Amino acid sequence: MPLIELGKIVADSWTRVGDDDALPLETPAIVSLARLRRDGDALLTRNAPLGVLVPSDTQADDLADLVDRVSLFVIEFPKFRDGRGYTIARTLREHHHYKGELRATGHTLPDQYTFLIRCGFNSVEIPEGANAERWAEAMKSYDIVYQSMLGNDETLSGLRRRLELLDPPV
């Protein structure tokens, strides 16, 4: 499945591995959270990067012990209107200071791409059959925002305050 990173379509270098399948020795692998909890130490001692597939009903605080141990959190979105993945991502970034890659997977829409980025995601798995070019264009959709984010974008209210300071109302 192709990925979109920073508005560019890229190939996925990670391999998803089932709960009972052998892990590849040299390539990055993604395992389920259940498998990681079951086989944790054995999985985390391999020499290749390890990622974990996180169900949307997971509490981000329950992942805190993995922040320094995994290279990728793949957060599931079971429905496009389910916002729990945004909360997981933002909590991992802001409260647990996770610096690795966050990836969204599942039912997401191109219109949500900028919101995913603003909450801390680095990449999004483009759903099967989706128009990849539409995803690439989605990053350019919004240039004024309402909420602050994990970055330096200026919010609409901040822009208004700055403009009033330059040209105060009479």
List the chain domain ranges.
3-141
pLDDT in tens, 13-50: 999 999 999 888 889 999 999 999 999 888 888 889 99
Please check the confidence at residue 70 and state whether its pLDDT lies above 80: yes
pTM across the whole model: 0.81
Does the pLDDT value for residue 135 go beyond 90? no
Mean pLDDT across 78-87: 88
pLDDT bin (cut points 50, 70, 90) of residue 128 is: confident
- H-assigned helices in 18-147: 33-44, 84-94, 113-118, 132-138
- Give residue 50's pLDDT: 94
Q: Average pLDDT in the 153-158 region?
A: 56
Pick the CATH number of 3-141 from 3.40.50.2000, 3.20.20.70, 1.10.3720.10, 2.60.40.10: 3.20.20.70
DSSP state, 124? E
Task: Count the Cβ atoms, other than its own, within 10 Å of residue 144.
Answer: 9
Share of the chain above pLDDT 90, in %: 47
